Amino acid sequence: MNKKTRRNIHRAAKRTTFYIFVTGVVIAMLLPIYFVVSLSFLSTREAYRYPLPLLPELKIHYKMTHGERGYLLSVYDQIDKEYQTVMDTQDLDKMSVYMKSQLGAPMSVSEIQQQIARLDTEDPIYFTRRKNLLYNYQTFFQVAGTGQAVPALIRSLEICAMTIVISLFIGGMAGYAFARYYFKGRNALKFSVLFVRMFPGVAIAMPMVIILVNMGFYDQPIGLSLVYSVGSIALTIWITASIFMGIPISLEEAAQVFGATKIQTFIRITLPLALPGLAACAMYAFLGAWNETVAAIILTQFNPTFSVVVYQTVLGAVGQVNLAAAGGIVMALPAVLFTFFIRRYIHQMWGGVTV
Amino acid sequence: MATLQLKNLTKRFGKKVVAVKGINLEVHDGEYLVLLGPSGCGKTTTLRMIAGLEEATDGEIILDGVDITDLPPRKRDISMVFQSYAVWPHMTVYENIAFALKLKKLSRSEIDRTVREVAGMTKIGDYLDRYPTQLSGGQRQRVAVARAIAVKPKLFLMDEPLSNLDAKLRVATRTELKAIHNKTHATTVFVTHDQSEAMSIADRIVIMKDGEIMQIGTPEEVYNESASIFVADFIGTPPTNFIDVQVVAAGGTLHLVNPHLKLPLSPENAARLKGQEQRNLILGIRPENLTLTGETEANLSAPCLVAEPQGSHQVVSIELDDKLLKIIAPARPAVHSGEMVHLKFKQESLRFFDPQTGQRI
Amino acid sequence: MTKTKKDWKKLGEKAVPYLLLLPVIIYYTAFWLHPVLVSIVGGFTDPAGHFTLQNFAMVIHDKGFVPALKNTSIIVIFSVTLEFIAALFLALLINRKFVGANFFLFLAMIPMALPSAAAGAMWITGLTAHGWVNSLLYYLGFLEKGKSIYWLAGSNTSLLALIIVIDAWQVIPSVMIILLAGLQNISEEMQEAGYVFGGDYFTVLRKITLPLLKPTIQTAVILRLISAIQIWLIVVILLGFSRMPVLVERIVYYHKVVHGLDISYQMATGYTIIVAAIVSLVSLAYLQVSGAFKRDREAEA
């Protein structure tokens, strides 16, 4: 019995160490992400506090009294745990703008006047406003890329859609050929598909400028999707080939025995079975096109993609860290969501990780 | 050469699943012991615990008087043939066999001598420089066996080593395994779900179900003296026929009765069931113990449903209360479906089981 | 008559795979081979259109070239090594059933899903003097109040180290997932046989697990090599252009930042060819050294 308890203790200790380690790894992975998310919800005033607050303030507590030059406005600071003076002015417009842009808890001039009226009876007065947590996001879409953020977002989605269609259609056909037919040069061709991905993207993007200008596609979404498809077609071929190989040929033969033509068989039997895998390919194409920045910088001029807009905002971010964070989150969100949907296939692509 | 004892060996997965429920077992020196049971019965888990690949939740494993329960596999002085053979594809056949010997720090000449000796014994001497991918399934299986013999272990473990071979090769290989055992006399624990495999090679068979041992015995014992309905049904092809009957006293002796059957018992059988009048029980009888006979001598008559000729004999099936009753009969005269068959029960081969517990009476 | 019809049909069936491949071949000719050739030709011509090697001479004499080559090499060597070792360690550790494993895998995918612009936003907001990294260190008690570390003002060596660590954060999970997939493709019995036949954990790892994992390791390393050579965006976001030159950064610099000059196009093209050559050569050399070609020939034979 003694031996049994010893065995149990040993096992429990091992398991605990293991979970502590895994937790550590998870924290290391998520901590930077947590801080950016938190940063994107901070008001400008909070974002320039040091050390940065761990959590964004949800409400702003104001304190107002008569100051030397007019009205003295203070806000409660969650780190120092005291009211801190932010301005002393008579200009209520200025105060209203400050509340909106620096504190993220806007009040109109008339609302401020209502509060000021209370100063006659009590001094100082206290009031609280809910913070607009999405203020940075709203500002990002208004300001970033000199108002280009929303059109750039739409453009990026267009590019992604076109890339998906091109690479699924062309890559899927080739994938089917590799999966179902043995023909001369099969291996050489498969190797060359890999070689396409070995050649750096920049090396293609540069000469593509001239090619696309000649085609009239320079600085156009279609031009970029043609470039992005080069990479995603190769990936689509590899994935679809393995998907089609996984669908037993006997299922197709059975359909043909019961009188279906080859094309009917493909549409009725093979395609539906391959659909989840094809969806994964589509999302890969989406991710590739959505995340890409280099070629987009080179191949656009007046019509940047969303990633270029974020890149520009981040590059000039020294003055606006919370705005940069919001841009980064908007950029990352679709990518993370799509990855979540295709996580099964990421595993499958590398040979079926199932833990 | 060694003896192996399992004492109250238990394996739990998580909180609920108990794969092995405290089994006790002794394997004698030089014995070829087969763990037999349907899939999920705990036989492979038991073997893996003996190998040290699975931690025992409770209980002890004792090899030659030494408690090895908590030792890692490499310190147990065992060797194993895996179901998938687990022949390492990046090593040549020679390197595969020499792996354990090198780790034992044997001299180069000694390793070479042993490798060639076991390769000769398993007939793979010509393939020593090949990689496993260049070998057939049967040859790979021999490499796995050779690798296992080479270390001259106290205990030999085999986890369904024949299940990946085709039917013909499987039968041939099991004969060879038995022949190798006759040379080495190594104590062996062999796991299989194939009862005919177990019958043909085992010194003793351990039949397991749901993590418990149902019966331990020689092949004859488990076949002829099955301890329960489960064993009687699991062993033998076709399996034992089971008939629900009632014991009725009439005309100075006991009869087994059901709507189709009135079977007077021999004095020996009657003595065994004495005092059990009116009791319901299950009669078990193996197909070869039902003989075709004339109408007058018959205990049971029914039309033949199907007759399956097997060359040396034929298997005749009749339907009795929605259950098939199978009879192994001589190949001639051929029975045709629809034809009336008359059966006689061999009295000395009747086995009686309790309908509630399934145990033999 | 019927015979010729049959022949036609047979021929048609033989043509099916080629017809299916035709779009890819056309597409790659137009949008891959064509720009690649244009790029190569452009690398060897001067503005007047004559053959020249002057572009490369200009690149080599560019004051950013040697530092770019040096920095890129250091980043590639250290980050690929570090990422591979850390990822292998994690993959070996994770390669077992445990509660929450699927959730862990999903979390591990977040860094790898992050677009580089978003990752840039994350680190630039973190590494400024009053960024979240210093704040975190303060909360953990490593920094006194009011003090801060100037991450982006360090020496070249410390900046390189910083880039390598940041790259590792983003890349280790994806390498881990590739290696994990490889590990799970190895039948467990292979390793168990190693234990039964006298191996301890490290013997089995060295003699059995790693050799069997070799094809996966090759895939992971080659993918990493290709993308590590092309690192630039994070460098530019953190440090701006020309502060710590790397090869691809030079291309974008000449193409986008100082464009319009005669030399800028030649410089950019020259750098492009050099990067393309390095990526291809390194990949091929690695595949050759690690014996991938040999194995493929074996597999075909």
Closest CB to B147 among C187, C197, C199: C197
Per-residue pLDDT, averaged over A9-29, amounts to 88
The pLDDT of residue B34 is 96
pLDDT in tens, C266-294: 888 888 888 888 888 888 888 777 766 65
Are B100 and C197 a contacting pair, CB within 8 Å?
yes
Q: How far apart are CA C74 and CA C171, in angstroms?
A: 17
Q: Could you tell me if A157 lies within 8 Å of chain C, comparing CB atoms?
A: no
Sorted by sequence, the CB contacts under 8 Å of residue B162 that are 6+ apart come out as B141, B170, B173, B174, B177, B192, B194, B197
Final residue belonging to a domain, choices B234, B266, B287: B234
CATH number of the domain to which B286 belongs = 2.40.50.140
Asked if the Cβ–Cβ distance from B74 to C199 is below 8 Å, we say yes
Same domain, B167 and B188: yes
Q: What is the mean pLDDT of chain A?
A: 84
Q: Does residue C216 lie within any of the structural domains? A: yes
pLDDT in tens, B292-321: 988 888 888 899 999 999 999 999 999 888
- What residues make up the domain containing C30? 1-43
Portion 10-69 of A in contact with B at CB < 8 A: 11
The pLDDT of residue A352 is 40
Q: Which residue in the block uniquely carries the two structure tokens 């030494």?
A: B66
Asked if the Cβ–Cβ distance from B55 to A7 is below 8 Å, we say yes
Q: Is the pLDDT reported for residue A264 higher than 90?
A: no
Closest residue in chain B to residue C190, using alpha carbons only: B86
Q: Does residue C120 lie within any of the structural domains? A: no
Same domain, C78 and C208: yes
Same domain, B16 and B126: yes
Same domain, B11 and B104: yes
What is the number of domains present in chain C? 2
Q: Does residue C146 lie within any of the structural domains? A: no
Interface list for chain B against chain A, based on CB atoms closer than 8 Å: 55, 58, 69-70
The pLDDT of residue C145 is 79
Q: Is the pTM of this model over 0.95?
A: no
Q: Is the pLDDT reported for residue A198 higher than 90?
A: no
- What residues make up the domain containing B285? 241-353
**Least confident stretch, A211-215, A299-303, B182-186, C3-7:** C3-7
At A355, the pLDDT band (50, 70, 90 cuts) reads: very low
Closest CB to A314 among C14, C124, C148: C124
Q: Is the pLDDT reported for residue A258 higher than 90?
A: no
Q: How far apart are CA A110 and CA A108, in angstroms?
A: 5
Same domain, C30 and C171: no
Pairing of strands B300-309, B290-292: unpaired
Asked if the Cβ–Cβ distance from A202 to C101 is below 8 Å, we say no
Are C205 and C53 a contacting pair, CB within 8 Å?
no
CATH number of the domain to which B41 belongs = 3.40.50.300
Q: Which residues of B touch A11 (CB under 8 A)?
A: 55
Q: How far apart are CA A175 and CA C23, in angstroms?
A: 12
Asked if the Cβ–Cβ distance from B53 to C192 is below 8 Å, we say yes
The pLDDT of residue A268 is 87
> Of A86, A56, A91, A60, which Cα lies nearest the Cα of A73?
A86
Q: Which residues of B touch A7 (CB under 8 A)?
A: 55, 70
Portion 192-211 of C in contact with B at CB < 8 A: 192-200, 203, 207-208, 211
Asked if the Cβ–Cβ distance from C122 to A170 is below 8 Å, we say no
Same domain, B210 and B67: yes
β strands within chain B, DSSP E: 4-13, 17-27, 32-36, 58-63, 66-67, 78-81, 155-159, 187-192, 204-209, 212-217, 241-250, 253-258, 261-264, 280-285, 290-292, 300-309, 313-320, 323-330, 340-345, 351-353
Same domain, B183 and B291: no
Q: Does residue B44 lie within any of the structural domains? A: yes
Q: Distance (Å) from the C-alpha of residue B2 to the closest C-alpha of chain A?
A: 24
Final residue belonging to a domain, choices B218, B234, B250: B234
Are C152 and C159 a contacting pair, CB within 8 Å?
yes
Q: Is the pLDDT reported for residue B247 higher than 60?
A: yes
Asked if the Cβ–Cβ distance from C109 to A339 is below 8 Å, we say yes
Residue A241 vs residue C13, higher pLDDT: A241
Residue A284 vs residue B230, higher pLDDT: B230
Are C208 and C190 a contacting pair, CB within 8 Å?
yes
Q: How far apart are CA C21 and CA A177, in angstroms?
A: 7
Q: Does residue C127 lie within any of the structural domains? A: no
**CA triple B156-B162-B167, angle to 5 deg:** 155
Q: How far apart are CA A90 and CA A179, in angstroms?
A: 77
The pLDDT of residue B232 is 94
What is the number of domains present in chain B? 2
Per-residue pLDDT, averaged over B340-361, amounts to 91
Are A88 and A28 a contacting pair, CB within 8 Å?
no
Q: Is the pLDDT reported for residue C297 higher than 60?
A: no
Sorted by sequence, the CB contacts under 8 Å of residue A310 that are 6+ apart come out as A144, A327, A328, A330, A331, C115, C117, C118, C121
Q: Is the pLDDT reported for residue A318 higher than 60?
A: no
Q: What is the mean pLDDT of chain C?
A: 85
Q: Which residue in the block uniquely carries the two structure tokens 């001369």?
A: A184
At C301, the pLDDT band (50, 70, 90 cuts) reads: very low
Question: Other CB atoms closer than 10 Å to residue B65's CB: what's the count?
Answer: 8
pLDDT in tens, A133-154: 888 898 888 877 777 888 999 9
- Chain B neighbors (3+ CB pairs < 8 Å): A, C
Per-residue pLDDT, averaged over C173-201, amounts to 89
The pLDDT of residue A190 is 65
Are B70 and B54 a contacting pair, CB within 8 Å?
no
Q: Which residue in the block uniquely carries the two structure tokens 């050739």?
A: C37
pLDDT in tens, B115-143: 999 999 889 999 999 999 999 989 999 99
At C295, the pLDDT band (50, 70, 90 cuts) reads: low
Sorted by sequence, the CB contacts under 8 Å of residue B237 that are 6+ apart come out as B195, B196
Sorted by sequence, the CB contacts under 8 Å of residue A166 that are 6+ apart come out as A225, A226, A229, A233
The pLDDT of residue B131 is 94
Q: Distance (Å) from the C-alpha of residue C9 to the closest C-alpha of chain A?
A: 14
Q: Which residues of C touch A290 (CB under 8 A)?
A: 115
Asked if the Cβ–Cβ distance from B79 to C200 is below 8 Å, we say no
Q: Is the pLDDT reported for residue B85 higher than 80?
A: yes
Judge residue B238's burial from the number of C-beta atoms within 10 Å of its C-beta, 0-12 exposed, 13-18 middle, 19 or more buried.
middle
> Of B286, B284, B262, which Cα lies nearest the Cα of B353?
B284
Residue B173's Cα: distance from chain center in Å?
Answer: 16
Q: Is the pLDDT reported for residue A353 higher than 50?
A: no
Structure tokens that stand for A156 in this block: 């990026």
Sorted by sequence, the CB contacts under 8 Å of residue C253 that are 6+ apart come out as C64, C241, C242, C245
Q: How far apart are CA A200 and CA B76, in angstroms?
A: 54
Same domain, B156 and B10: yes
Final residue belonging to a domain, choices B193, B219, B234: B234
Per-residue pLDDT, averaged over A182-207, amounts to 73
Per-residue pLDDT, averaged over A34-52, amounts to 87
The pLDDT of residue A170 is 93
Same domain, C266 and C211: yes
Closest residue in chain A to residue C238, using alpha carbons only: A315
Residue A135 vs residue A185, higher pLDDT: A135
Same domain, C164 and C223: yes
Same domain, B162 and B262: no
At C259, the pLDDT band (50, 70, 90 cuts) reads: low
Asked if the Cβ–Cβ distance from B74 to C193 is below 8 Å, we say no
Q: Which residue in the block uniquely carries the two structure tokens 């031996």?
A: A3
Q: Distance (Å) from the C-alpha of residue B93 to the closest C-alpha of chain C?
A: 14
Q: Which residues of C touch B88 (CB under 8 A)?
A: 190, 193-194, 208, 212
Mutate to test the interface with A, among C18, C20, C179, C184 (most CBs of A within 10 A): C20
Q: Which residues of C touch A204 (CB under 8 A)?
A: 31-32, 35-36, 39
Q: Is the pLDDT reported for residue A164 higher than 80?
A: yes
Range of A116-130, A286-300, B44-58, C147-161 with top mean pLDDT: B44-58
Q: Could you tell me if A81 lies within 8 Å of chain B, comparing CB atoms?
A: no
Q: Does residue C110 lie within any of the structural domains? A: no
pLDDT in tens, A321-330: 888 889 889 9
Structure tokens that stand for B131 in this block: 């990689």
**Least confident stretch, A255-264, A339-348, B327-336, B338-347:** A339-348
**Least confident stretch, A306-315, B336-345, C96-105:** C96-105
Q: Which residues of B touch A4 (CB under 8 A)?
A: 58
Q: Is the pLDDT reported for residue A319 higher than 80?
A: no
Q: How far is CA C42 from CA B69, C252, C255, in A?
A: 72, 17, 14
Asked if the Cβ–Cβ distance from A3 to B55 is below 8 Å, we say no
A-C C-beta contacts closer than 8 Å: 284
Identify the helix (H) or strand (E) that includes residue A204.
helix A201-215
Closest residue in chain A to residue C219, using alpha carbons only: A350
CATH number of the domain to which C83 belongs = 1.10.3720.10
Q: Distance (Å) from the C-alpha of residue C29 to the closest C-alpha of chain A?
A: 10
Q: Could you tell me if C163 lies within 8 Å of chain B, comparing CB atoms?
A: no
Q: Is the pLDDT reported for residue A351 higher than 70?
A: no
Asked if the Cβ–Cβ distance from B103 to C203 is below 8 Å, we say yes
Asked if the Cβ–Cβ distance from A294 to C233 is below 8 Å, we say yes
Q: Is the pLDDT reported for residue C234 higher than 80?
A: yes
Q: Distance (Å) from the C-alpha of residue A4 to the closest C-alpha of chain B?
A: 7
Q: Could you tell me if C258 lies within 8 Å of chain B, comparing CB atoms?
A: no
Same domain, B86 and B185: yes
Asked if the Cβ–Cβ distance from A3 to B58 is below 8 Å, we say no
Same domain, B161 and B230: yes
Mutate to test the interface with B, among C196, C207, C213 (most CBs of B within 10 A): C196
Same domain, B192 and B330: no
Q: Is the pLDDT reported for residue B92 higher than 90?
A: yes
Asked if the Cβ–Cβ distance from B103 to C198 is below 8 Å, we say yes
Q: Is the pLDDT reported for residue A244 higher than 50?
A: yes
Same domain, C80 and C218: yes
Q: Does residue C142 lie within any of the structural domains? A: no
Residue B47 vs residue C224, higher pLDDT: B47
Q: Does residue C267 lie within any of the structural domains? A: yes
Q: How far is CA B273 from CA B350, C28, C32, in A?
A: 12, 87, 90
Asked if the Cβ–Cβ distance from C211 to B72 is below 8 Å, we say no
Q: Distance (Å) from the C-alpha of residue B134 to the closest C-alpha of chain A?
A: 21
For residue B267, cis peptide bond before it (omega within 30 degrees of 0): no
Q: Which residues of B touch C211 (CB under 8 A)?
A: 90
Q: Which residues of A touch B55 (CB under 8 A)?
A: 7, 11
Residue length, chain B?
361
Q: Which residue in the block uniquely carries the two structure tokens 């939740």?
A: B57
Tell me the CATH number of domain A139-349, given options 1.20.1070.10, 1.10.1040.50, 1.10.3720.10, 3.40.50.300: 1.10.3720.10
Q: What is the mean pLDDT of chain B?
A: 91
Same domain, B35 and B103: yes
Mutate to test the interface with B, among A4, A6, A9, A15 (most CBs of B within 10 A): A4
Q: Distance (Å) from the C-alpha of residue B236 to the closest C-alpha of chain C?
A: 31
